[in-house]
Homo-oligomer: A and B are copies of this chain.
Amino acid sequence: MTVATVDGIEYLEKNRLLVEDLLRRFLPSEDAKPQSLHRAMRYSTLAGGKRLRPILALAAYQYCGGRPENAESTIYPAMAALEMVHTYSLIHDDLPCMDDDDLRRGIPTCHKKFGEATAVLAGDALHVVAFQLMAQTGSPQAVIELAEAIGTGGMLGGQVADVEAEGRPSNTEQEVEYIHTHKTGMLIRGSVRIGALLANADRETLDRLTAYGLKIGLAFQIIDDILDIEGDQRKLGKQVGSDTKNQKATYPGVIGMPASKEKASRLIDQALALVDTDDDNILKFLARFIGQREN
């Protein structure tokens, strides 16, 4: 998709609002029973954020020629599903038995606001709605892609490795790469793949976008590590320095700050080369955007 006329920032803002609309529509209503759980689900999911995963899925769908008239029954529910699994993972990650975080996107975390039991169940419930929405695309393959992205071979594998690496005196680059590609990379890769699949992309394009997704996904998490040291707390909406405090395995911790920045920058360049199919397209813009993000 050539978007020479579309400004990237405008695309991002327009589709962030689209994602907000989809989430409002697909999340269960606070008026329906069980109200307390629906309130917690909506609180955490509608607390803002860049909505990067659904926007990446949409951009991949468009890049692969997915038709606008099919969006409502395919990519739209998939977009909401991707943001909901992301939110579920954050809610469980923030729990006292996990990272024990009090603040997320500038407001109290789900368990701080609603209690631990409700936070566990709200995460579980978002997990269910996400799969329900993905099944509504009519594609069992999209459901399987989502499961692979967030299962023990994906996001959950990364979360476990992340917890287990905490406080370990000597993590290797290989270990940190495993954590980052799984914890963050696999869902970003999965978002791109699901968008491509729902547009019936050919095999060559799907493979290329898969590599693109993995590279921007790893870059995203390396930059997360960097921002936790050099970032602006106000822009981030969460406390900086938490990785150091929690003795997390990070790229700067293992290979140093200059090498981490260089690695992130190299990954973005490689990602750009993979989608260099025309002068300007949104996947290129999104790769650059991730490379330069400040929150």
Contact = CB atoms under 8 A, between A and B. Distances in A.
A61 interface: no
Interface in A16-40: 28, 32-34, 36-38
A120 B135 contact: no
A129 interface: yes
A135 B32 CA distance: 28
- Chain A, interface SS category: helix
A236 interface: no
Contact of A144 (B33, B132, B160): B132
Interface stretch (A1-9, A91-99, A198-206, A213-221): A91-99
Nearest to A178: B33
Contacts of A156: 34, 37, 121, 124-125, 128
Chain A contact-residue range equals: 35 or more
Contacts of A129: 147, 151-152
Nearest to A151: B128
A71 interface: no
A127 B121 CA distance: 13
Most buried by B among A128, A132, A138, A161: A128
Nearest to A40: B160
A242 interface: no
* Copy total for this chain: 2
A160 B36 contact: yes
B143 A132 contact: yes
Interface of A: 28, 32-34, 36-38, 41, 92, 95, 97-98, 115-118, 120-121, 123-125, 127-129, 131-132, 134-141, 143-144, 146-148, 150-153, 156-157, 159-161, 163-164
Ranked nearest first, the 7 interchain pairs of A and B with the lowest CB-CB distance are: A132-B147, A97-B116, A135-B143, A34-B160, A128-B151, A135-B140, A131-B131
9 contacts: A28-B153, A92-B121, A95-B120, A124-B124, A129-B151, A131-B147, A132-B147, A132-B151, A136-B144
